[in-house]
Structures are given as C-alpha cells and as structure tokens.
Amino acid sequence: EVQLTESGGGSVQVGGSLRLSCKARQYTFSHYCVGWFRQAPGKEREGVAAIDRNGARYIDSVKDRFTISKDYAENTLNLQMNDLRPEDSATYFCAVAELFGRCEPDWGTGSGMDSWGKGILVTVAS
C-alpha cells in the first residue's frame, strides 16, 4: 500500500515562501504522474501542479511562483512556493498515479491519481 506524507506547511506572511515535501513509502516517484492539489475551506479541490515524464504543468494562478520537482535520491516530491498570496491558503495534498506514466489531460480534477496524502495546511497572512 502506497503511503504519502506531506511536510513543510505552516503560516507565512504575504510574499513569503514555503517548501512542501511529500515522502512516499512503497512507491517510486520517478515513474509516474505525480502532483500537488489544494483545497480551501468552502471550495473545491484543485490541482496546483503535476509532473510526469513530459515535464511539469501548473495552473495559471501559480505559474512563475511555484515549482514542482522530484528528488530522486530522497524519493520525495517537492513544491517550492514563492511570493505567496492569501488566496494560496489551503490544505495541500500530494497525489500519485500508480498506473500511468503520463498525466491525464484533466489531471487537475484528480483524474488518474490513485493515492493521496492526508494533507498539510498552508496559511498566508495578509
């Protein structure tokens, strides 16, 4: 059974930075589509960034501010978040596909993701 554990969340001021990490057990990040999602109170979950063998993709609101990456040595999935804004406040989840090397076109809905972490809270104070 795949187990995913997020870390690195917390509170930060507007314009600050955080780095989220997702550690996996019984899973290797290098082979499949993996991504970060978030859900704010009262809002639907949305995909933030995903990466597969074709590269990374981001939602428009985080482009040029967030960077998704894989650390093959540590077998972790990271999300570097810079220039944070209050609207980035949410619980962030990492998620992984276990069958597909490429992300689904509608990856942002969670399509194709098979395992999810429990989430970690990010709060951006204005």
For range 84-111, the mean pLDDT: 93
In one letter, which amino acid is 63? K
Report CA-CA distances (Å) from 32 to 18, 41, 91.
25, 29, 23
For range 81-106, the mean pLDDT: 94
CA atoms of 56 and 67, how far apart (whole Å):
8
Residues 28-84: tens digit of each pLDDT: 887 899 999 999 999 999 999 999 999 999 999 999 999 999 998 999 999 999 999
Closest CA to 4 of 92, 66, 73: 92
CA atoms of 23 and 7, how far apart (whole Å):
8
* pLDDT at residue 101 greater than cutoff 90: no
DSSP character string of 57-79: EE-GGGTTTEEEEEETTTTEEEE
